[in-house]
Chain A
Amino acid sequence: MESMGRITPSTLSTKDLPWQILWNKEKCTLCGGCTAVCPVRAIDLGVHRKRSLQIPVGLETKPGNLFAIYHGIDQRTDPAHACVGCGMCTMVCPNGAIAPLHIEGIDKLRFHVNQGGEPRRRGGRRNNPDSVLDKIKFVRISMLTDPALDAGRHEFELRTLLGRVLPPEEMLKVSRENGWMPPVREIYPLVIGSMSFGALSPNMWEGLQMGVAYLNEELGMPVRVCTGEGGCPPRLLKSRFLKYVILQIASGYFGWDEIIHSLPQMKEDPCAIEIKYGQGAKPGDGGLLMWYKVNKLIAAIRGVPQGISLLSPPTHQTKYSIEEAVAKMIQSMSMAWGFRVPVYPKISATSTAMAVLNNLTRNPYAAGLAIDGEDGGTGAAYNVSMDHMGHPIASNLRDAYLTLVKLGKQNEIPLFAGGGIGKNGNLAANAAALVMLGASGVQTGKYIMQAAAGCLGSEGDRCNVCNIGVCPKGITSQDPRLDRRLDPEQVAQRVVDLYLSFDTELKKIVAPLGRSTSLPIGMSDALGINDADAAERLSIKYVL
């Protein structure tokens, strides 16, 4: 006869899990809030039998046992229900009786998250807190030879350009001949990176759009948000707010039927079109929206049946070469909007990025290049792609900028850098470092989710369940019961807060460097790092 407590190779104890639930029986009110809120049902109501020994004084009565029952928490240990450390249980507990605790050392769960032969998939990021960008310091302080500026009182013009900027000679020629001048947008250098309608909940999307609209219309900050690959709600497509939106097209073409059909009704041109060829979090892999999240609304916007996983191919299937991919797609998209909208590709950082860039320099319609580094985030991907594939952004961006300098085209093709900016909370410092390494602007997604919506993800593999639609904050869920936890108005307010604080911090960085009249793109003499190899690689100062 088989015993009830069967041990299999994947039988784990709570000690083997990355997160353990600490529960205090004395404080617990048995309200059940924690078990109800847990996104992965890692905890159950536990009924525990407890024996206490009864040892009376004297010899007359023999010692005995008293069996009692108490109720509490059981942490499940099977891989599908392992605690993800989100801490929602702590948040809802009225008495502070419960909390997840990360174990020290390496967990054993990682060896068992491939049940049924399916490797781990998750949302999130690379889970590595290391950041070269954090190590970069701004060392060229204006003081006596050139007075520093006052971040609070001086005027600053820190906008950037998105679009193909003609070299001066050609610009003058085109002006003289009334020729075609490529569209150029003057935008704020911090762009909300592509997060799709589908990857994000409707409430999150609405909150972002409202925040961006407020920043533009009330505060005069030309902030732009990219849709990601998932289309765009028709109401937005036909509104005046479309001009604040960068529409993304990717290899699944999701949502583009709706966009094309809305063209005649568009009151405004979109800010730009981003053609996604790659994503930093999962380079060489296509977009992924798992079936859990494909509800009626998402299916309608994307033009697909409900409840199926939406896997975009790793590349645009109709193209076989870079020349064709870039030329055809950029020109088709430009033509769709009468050559009035900048069209640029986004690629994942890679050692082959320079080939793409060189190609773009020869394409007069290419409006820029966005490069997404390995530290970028995603709503869903294979763990191995996230953890091990890709190229850091700093050196890739620097190489790209210096390649353009060599060609004399550093002002013609704006580079936008993404992937890990603000991963440890240092958004403005990371963004400024990338700008001074040569980026015209930066794109960020995770920081926005964390600051504007309270995303619980961290670089320590916390939460990361964006892929299965159970986001406990309602940020990446597609279940109205979860979505309603997120108030779009409050998200909008936080978007405004974070942009205003970013703006102040950016000024606090550039003002001491003596810069205010233009974004200090490529001002690499201001940068230093206390790592000689990194300094040499990035052509910046080595400082100790």
Chain B
Amino acid sequence: MCRLFAVTSNDPVSPMMALNALNVMKEGHDGSGVGLFLTDLGGEFEKFKNEPILSGIFSNDGIKALDRFMIDLDFMVKYKLSFRPTKPTPSGTPKRDNYVIRVYEYPAEWEGLSQEEIQFRLMMVQLQLREMGEKDKSMLIFSFWPDVIMIKEVGDPLTVAEYLGLDRKELSARTILSQGRQNTNYSIDIYACHPFFLQGMSTMTNGENTAFVPIREFLMSRNFPGYAGYQSDSEVFTHILHYMQNKLGMGMEMYKHIITPLKDDELVRHPDGKMLRNLKQSCRPLIIDGPNCVIGCLPDKTMFMVQDSKKLRPGVVGGRPGIFAFSSEMCGLDAAIPERDINLDDQPMRYETVIIRRERQEIEKWNQWDALPHLH
């Protein structure tokens, strides 16, 4: 099983905090991979809140191809943080040439474009680069988005972190998602490593998604180029979230109603049952069947945790005003935030959504039985 740890803090923290928490939970993951999603960045990157950051792994040829491609598009590098590890590669980790985090300046001709258009173009650049890299394995692209850094590698999380030197001071963030172990139900592929990212939102998941194929078919047939990849069955959780927010214009309160709708006889008793029944029918192919605990981060930096409607996976949320953490195991949370009131810890159940807003003041809990806040 995967181990998940996420932290959201008013003061930027090093990714090592998350990785140490993962290490505490080591008994539960096989150390076959690590993934990090950092946003609401601190350190050096704080100065570049609005410029897109490219995260990926490149061979030496890949870097040259990247430069040519980005220059053609008129993207200029504003700041970069590259790791070229000189230490021997840890066992199980492939030898890579360059781990790249680069901040770009937008092309001049993008000025005046709508936010939506800019976001679409950023996604397309990411997809094009990924496609270019897939041909000769010269590039692995994880994200291209303002205020977002992603790092992924195959291997034991802490060993990889030490190998890459992730404790460097330039690297810190207020919101971090981290996952230990890849989705090893499928072949080991770095793109199968959680968290997954699409246009500002990211999720990671514990457990297998048994309804994967029909969900994937539904998403892929929406004719949106970002609904692609699917090296892992958990990637659909990010894309369902994206579809809900960006295509259906719905808020986070509807996520559970889409992936785990109430049963037919429950809907009869729900104050918004009629609308929810229509939604359940229209989004029927997006219903999941667990066992899944999904932890994610929205573009407004709100962090959330939800469970499937039946089988559930472990997941706990706790902290104190200013800092909260989401962990798949209690010991991870204990290691990260020992000085908290454990009585306020929360383990969301089948109907619940737990969120921590960017202000990081309290654990907010929603229930699927609640009336919907704003229907239309």
Contacts and interface: CB of A to CB of B under 8 A. Distances in A.
Interface of A: 142, 145-147, 149, 154-155, 157, 159, 161, 165-169, 171-172, 175-176, 181, 184, 186, 405-411, 513-518, 520-525
Nearest to A184: B281
Q: What 6 pairs between A and B have smallest CB-CB spacing?
A: A408-B221, A514-B210, A146-B208, A171-B282, A522-B214, A168-B282
Contacts of A147: 291, 311
B213 A142 contact: no
Contacts of A408: 218, 221-223
Given A161-B284, A517-B287, A520-B214, 11 more contacts: A149-B310, A149-B311, A166-B278, A168-B279, A168-B282, A516-B310, A517-B289, A520-B289, A521-B284, A522-B213, A522-B285
B124 interface: no
A146 B206 CA distance: 10
**Binding site of B, secondary structure by majority: helix, strand, loop or mixed?**
loop
Interface in B285-318: 285, 287-291, 308-311
A154 B311 CA distance: 10
B217 interface: yes
B283 interface: yes
Contact of A515 (B210, B263, B275, B376): B210
Interface string B191-217: 000000000000000011011111001
Nearest to B288: A517
A166 B208 CA distance: 29
Given A146-B207, A168-B279, A408-B223, A525 B212 contact: yes
Given A172-B248, A410-B285, A142 B210 contact: yes
A407 B217 CA distance: 11
B260 interface: yes
B185 interface: yes
A161 B281 contact: yes
Interface string B356-376: 000000000000000000001
A411 B275 contact: no
B212 A514 contact: no
B355 to A, nearest CB: 23
Given A408-B221, A408-B222, A513 B210 contact: yes
A167 B208 CA distance: 27
Contacts of B247: 168-169
A415 B279 CA distance: 20
B264 interface: yes
B217 A165 contact: no
Interface in B234-267: 247-249, 260, 263-264
A522 B214 CA distance: 6
Nearest to B244: A168
Nearest to A440: B284
Contacts of A514: 208, 210, 289-291, 311
A279 B141 CA distance: 53
B282 A411 contact: yes
B293 to A, nearest CB: 13
Contact of B221 (A145, A146, A406, A513): A406
A3 to B, nearest CB: 73
28 contacts: A142-B210, A146-B207, A146-B208, A146-B210, A146-B291, A155-B263, A157-B263, A165-B284, A168-B279, A168-B283, A171-B282, A175-B275, A405-B217, A406-B221, A408-B218, A408-B223, A409-B221, A410-B214, A411-B285, A514-B289, A514-B311, A517-B287, A518-B289, A520-B211, A520-B214, A521-B284, A521-B285, A525-B212
Nearest to B278: A171
Contact of B248 (A165, A168, A409, A523): A168
A172 B221 CA distance: 19
A513 B275 CA distance: 30
A543 B281 CA distance: 34
A186 B264 contact: yes
Interface centre among B207, B208, B281, B291 (most CB of A within 10 A): B281
A159 B221 CA distance: 24
Contacts of B213: 522-525
A524 B217 CA distance: 11
A171 B291 CA distance: 29
Chain B: number of interface residues, binned into ranges: 35 or more
B248 A522 contact: no
B135 to A, nearest CB: 26
A142 B208 contact: yes
B211 A515 contact: yes
Nearest to B184: A145
Interface centre among A155, A171, A411 (most CB of B within 10 A): A411
A159 B264 contact: yes
A175 B248 CA distance: 13
A408 to B, nearest CB: 4
A265 B278 CA distance: 30
A167 B290 CA distance: 24
A410 B218 contact: yes
Nearest to B214: A522
A412 to B, nearest CB: 9
Interface centre among A157, A176, A184 (most CB of B within 10 A): A157
Contact of A175 (B278, B288, B308, B311): B278
Contacts of B278: 166, 171, 175, 181
Nearest to B375: A175
Interface centre among B207, B287, B311, B376 (most CB of A within 10 A): B311
Contacts of B218: 408, 410-411
Nearest to B250: A172
A386 B292 CA distance: 49
A166 B282 contact: yes
B275 to A, nearest CB: 6
B248 A169 contact: yes
A523 B264 contact: no
Contacts of A517: 260, 287-290, 308-310
A36 B287 CA distance: 59
A239 B284 CA distance: 32
A161 B376 CA distance: 25
Contacts of A411: 218, 282, 284-285
Interface string B330-372: 0000000000000000000000000000000000000000000
A520 B185 CA distance: 20
A518 B211 contact: yes
Contacts of A181: 278
Contacts of A172: 248-249
A524 B288 CA distance: 15
A127 to B, nearest CB: 36
A518 B287 contact: yes
Contacts of A522: 213-214, 217, 285
Contacts of A525: 212-213
Nearest to B243: A168
A176 B376 contact: yes
Given A405-B217, A517-B288, A523 B310 contact: no
Contacts of A515: 210-211, 289
Contact of B279 (A142, A155, A171, A405): A171
Contact of A145 (B208, B260, B283): B208
Interface centre among B207, B208, B214, B263 (most CB of A within 10 A): B214
B221 A407 contact: yes
Contacts of A520: 211, 214, 289
Interface centre among B249, B283, B288, B308 (most CB of A within 10 A): B283
Contact of A516 (B208, B285, B289): B289
A184 B280 CA distance: 12
Contact of B282 (A142, A159, A165): A165
A145 B211 contact: no
A195 B247 CA distance: 44
Nearest to B376: A176
A175 B223 contact: no
A525 B283 CA distance: 20
Interface centre among B210, B249, B308 (most CB of A within 10 A): B210
Nearest to B217: A405
Nearest to A181: B278
B376 A175 contact: yes
